């Protein structure tokens, strides 16, 4: 009978204690910014946030919050004083950005931060990085910054197609002094200023300058070379590359002075436009008992003036 009394007493005491504790317990909502964090109270782990945990009113608790990319934070909370709201502090890391061409603009999440090479301290997280430079294609990547990180951008030239034609096929094309090929020619070039020279034996050089900012077509109109001006005494005869060349003397006649000791020679200028496909021409001139050669004249692909004064001695 005595044991029964003791059992009943303990049961009633435990019930009263439980009821008292139930009346003193509150559900506390725990929020973090950003959400998704875990926290511990003593040996118990809770989360992810937002969540609720039971606490005894007026009792103090230590909550330790953890989340990848954020600092570990511990707070002390007195139960019954409202919700728990914690702003998590991101971890900061070093981001070093370089590029194959120094001085390129660095954009992070669309905002200009500076020029390469560039070192920044950023909070952990995801970033969109774009490297821009005039004359080169944009370089872009996404980074999940969870530690110190190095990024190197290899910039690729932004090229355009330059098409060069001519009225004569097979002419040599020089771009900024460098031989690129023969007409017709397609070449990929970076934006910029260029000097174009088109050359072909027997034709005048054709040249132009361009500022390449898009695909472009140009055409060279090559003119055949015309090359000789002669001043000859009356009666001279001309052979060009072994073939006689007709000279129109008009009404000019050879005259002698009454004074037989003085000889007066008349001369006439001839504009001979001989078309040629060669750089070197062979010219032979005969005047009475005097002959020039033949002579080889190097014209170097340019119009040249040749004056020959022949006297019969």
Q: And the tokens for 65?
A: 């919050």
pLDDT < 70 regions, the chain: 1-23, 225-230, 251-265, 271-281, 289-313
Beta-carbon count within 10 A of 225 CB: 24
* pLDDT for 69: 81
Contacts of 140 (CB under 8 A, 6+ apart): 128, 129, 130, 131
Residues 283-304 pLDDT 10s: 777 777 666 666 666 555 454 5
Q: And the tokens for 290?
A: 């005097």
Q: How far apart are CA 30 and CA 52, in angstroms?
A: 6
* pLDDT for 262: 42
DSSP strand pairing (216-220 vs 185-189): unpaired
* pLDDT for 282: 74
* pLDDT for 12: 56
The structural domains of the chain, ordered by start, are 28-89 (2.60.40.3070), 92-153 (2.60.40.10), 160-220 (2.60.40.10), 225-298 (no CATH)
Q: Model-level pTM?
A: 0.45
* pLDDT for 313: 44
* pLDDT for 90: 87
DSSP annotation string for 40-101: EETTEEE-SSSEEEEEETT-EEEEEEE-TTB--EEEEEETTS--EEEEPPBPEEEEEEEESS
Q: How far apart are CA 202 and CA 200, in angstroms?
A: 6
């Amino acid at each position: 009978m005595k044991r029964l009394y003791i059992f009943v007493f303990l049961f009633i005491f435990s019930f009263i204690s439980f009821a008292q504790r139930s009346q003193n317990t509150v559900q506390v909502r725990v929020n973090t910014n950003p959400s998704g964090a875990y926290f511990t109270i003593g040996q118990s782990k809770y989360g992810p946030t937002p969540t609720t945990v039971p606490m005894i009113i007026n009792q103090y608790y230590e909550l330790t919050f953890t989340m990848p990319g954020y600092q570990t934070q511990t707070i002390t909370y007195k139960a019954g004083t409202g919700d728990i709201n914690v702003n998590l502090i991101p971890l900061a890391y070093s981001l070093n950005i370089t590029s194959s061409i120094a001085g390129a603009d660095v954009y992070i999440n669309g905002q200009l931060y500076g020029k390469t090479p560039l070192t920044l301290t950023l909070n952990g997280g995801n970033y969109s990085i774009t490297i821009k430079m005039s004359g080169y294609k944009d370089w872009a990547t996404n980074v999940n910054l969870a530690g110190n990180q190095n990024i190197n951008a290899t910039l690729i030239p932004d090229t355009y197609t330059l098409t060069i034609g001519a009225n004569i096929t097979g002419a040599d094309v020089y771009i900024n002094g460098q031989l690129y090929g023969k007409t017709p020619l397609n070449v990929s070039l970076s934006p910029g200023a260029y000097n174009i020279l088109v050359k072909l034996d027997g034709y005048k050089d054709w040249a132009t300058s361009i500022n390449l900012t898009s695909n472009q077509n140009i055409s060279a109109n090559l003119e055949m070379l015309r090359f000789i001006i002669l001043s000859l005494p009356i009666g001279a005869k001309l052979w060009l590359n072994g073939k006689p060349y007709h000279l129109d003397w008009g009404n000019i006649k050879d005259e002698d002075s009454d004074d037989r000791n003085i000889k007066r020679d008349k001369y006439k200028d001839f504009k001979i436009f001989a078309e040629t496909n060669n750089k070197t021409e062979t010219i032979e001139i005969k005047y009475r008992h005097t002959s020039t050669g033949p002579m080889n004249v190097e014209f170097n692909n340019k119009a040249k003036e040749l004056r020959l004064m022949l006297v019969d001695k």
